[in-house]
């Protein structure tokens, strides 16, 4: 039995397939954009509402169905008001130009971040000023940002240095950097209970390892006893890094190759047909 491909590969079917792929791609990009924000929790609520709505329709629960209709109708307006920062962020993201342009601009921002971090690290390391600086990567750090004191400031070496000067109000805890901004200072990070951490390392190092165990954050630690610079990432602890080593590590982790997203659509389509996807 032969397959009549001419009846399947019609222009109308191709348009329908393209339409479906575009919708899935937009959903995928939306999930990536909202990852790590409080809007992620919104999807759980939407899922519950959809399930209740379908159940009420299936079992003929007219009153429940009417209530769900009202929730959906008014919920759209409420979401725009409540999640206005996330909506603004998404619109700004769409307005930043092409993928290659965004990557180039992002790398310029990351280089500025690296330079300011280097300035602060060099100053504090030489003077044995303890510091703990965690940079949000893909996994959101909102849970830990909420424990700190809001700053929302541009990253500068001088500000980081002044934050960790001993006996100042913000020197205890961690600075968390999100979207190239100092989100908070004096934040609490989870302490690792690993027995593999050398006993001579203190609370800052345990916190740095702890956050690397549960997120993909990149964390810089400066020892107040020795001035040693360490970095944690993905449950790995890199100790006693000199300037050349930590600068190379930071740039490797933070820079985004300008050709990294050339095949974004193609790779997305490949994941769809393979049934896979990126964890969010």
Q: From first to last of the 280 residues of the chain, give the pLDDT tens digit.
A: 566 666 667 788 788 888 888 888 877 766 665 555 555 566 677 788 888 888 888 888 889 888 988 888 887 777 767 666 656 666 665 665 544 444 556 668 889 999 999 999 999 999 999 999 999 988 889 889 999 999 999 999 999 999 999 999 899 999 999 989 999 999 999 999 888 899 889 999 999 999 999 999 999 999 999 999 999 999 999 999 999 999 999 999 998 665 544 444 444 445 444 444 433 3
**What string of DSSP letters covers 229-279?**
EEEEETTEEE-S--HHHHHHHHHHHH---TTTTTTHHHHHHHHHHHT----
pLDDT for residue 277? 43
How far apart (Å, rounded) are the C-alpha atoms in residues 148 and 60? 49
pLDDT for residue 76? 72
Q: In order of start, what are the domains of the chain with their CATH numbers?
A: 5-97+260-274 (no CATH), 99-254 (3.40.1700.10)
pLDDT for residue 104? 55
How far apart (Å, rounded) are the C-alpha atoms in residues 34 and 87? 9
pLDDT for residue 118? 97
How far apart (Å, rounded) are the C-alpha atoms in residues 165 and 143? 25
pLDDT for residue 95? 61
Coil, strand or helix at 136: coil
Structure tokens at 97: 């130009």
pLDDT for residue 183? 96
Cα 24 to its chain centre, rounded Å, is: 21
Residues 6+ apart with CB under 8 A from 167: none
pLDDT for residue 225? 93
Please count the CA atoms within 13 angstroms of the CA of 149 that sit on its side-chain side: 9
Helices 84-94 & 11-34 angle (0-180, nearest 10): 120
pLDDT for residue 58? 85
């Amino acid at each position: 039995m032969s397959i009549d491909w001419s009846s399947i590969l019609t222009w109308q079917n191709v348009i329908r397939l393209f339409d479906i792929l575009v919708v899935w791609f937009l959903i995928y990009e939306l999930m990536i954009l909202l990852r790590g924000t409080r809007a992620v929790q919104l999807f759980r609520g939407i899922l519950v509402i959809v399930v209740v709505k379908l159940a009420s329709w299936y079992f003929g629960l007219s009153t429940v169905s009417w209530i769900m209709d009202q929730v959906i109708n008014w919920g759209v307006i409420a979401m725009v008001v409540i999640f206005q920062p996330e909506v603004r962020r998404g619109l700004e993201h769409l307005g930043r130009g092409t993928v290659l342009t965004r990557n180039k601009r992002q790398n310029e921002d990351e280089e500025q971040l690296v330079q300011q971090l280097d300035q602060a690290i060099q100053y504090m390391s030489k003077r044995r000023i303890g510091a703990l600086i965690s940079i949000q990567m893909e996994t959101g750090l909102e849970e830990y940002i909420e424990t700190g004191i809001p700053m929302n400031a541009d990253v500068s070496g001088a500000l980081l240095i002044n934050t960790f000067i001993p006996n100042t109000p913000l020197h205890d805890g961690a600075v968390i950097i999100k979207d190239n901004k100092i989100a908070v200072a004096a934040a609490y990070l989870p302490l690792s209970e690993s027995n593999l951490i050398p006993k001579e390392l203190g609370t800052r190092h345990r916190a740095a390892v702890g956050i690397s165990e549960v997120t993909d954050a990149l964390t810089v630690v400066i020892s107040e006893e020795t001035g040693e610079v360490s970095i944690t990432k993905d449950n790995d602890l890199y100790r006693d890094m000199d300037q050349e080593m930590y600068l190379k590590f930071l740039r490797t982790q933070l820079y985004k190759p300008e050709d990294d997203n050339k095949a974004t659509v193609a790779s997305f389509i490949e994941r769809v047909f393979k049934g896979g996807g990126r964890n969010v």
